[in-house]
Chains A and B, each alone.
Chain A
Amino acid sequence: MTTAETTAGATLPAPAASEPSRWKKIKEGLSFFSRSKVALAGLILVGFWVLIALFADNCLITPRCYVGMVQGDDITQWATSEEYQSWLSRYSPVEQFRGRNREGPSADHWLGTDTRGRDIWARLAHGSRSILTLAPISVIVALIVGGTLGLAAGYFGGLIDEVMMRILDAIISFPQILLYLVIIAALGASATNVVLAITIAGAPGIARLVRGLALDIKTRDYIAAAQTRGESPWYIMFVEILPNARGPIIIDSMLRMGYAVFSIGTLGFLGLGLPPPSPDWGSIVQAGRSAIQAGRPWEALWGSIAIAMVVVGLNLIADGLAEESQRYR
Chain B
Amino acid sequence: MIAQTLMDGLIAGSMIGLGAIGITLTYSILRFANFAHGDLISWSAYFALSISTLLGTLAPGLATSVAPFSFGWSLPIGLAASIVLTALLALAVDWLLFARLRRRGGAIIILVMAGFGAALALRSFLEFLFTSKPYYFTDALQIAHPLAGGARATADQLLALGLAVVLVALVHLILTRTAAGRAMRAVSENQALAGLAGIDVARTIRLVWMFGAALAAVAGVMTGLLVQIRPHMGLDLLLPLFAAAILGGIGSVPGAMLAGLIVGIAEALCVQFVGAEWRAAVSFVILVAILLLRPQGLFGKAAA
Instruction: Note whether A and B form a binding pair.
Output: no
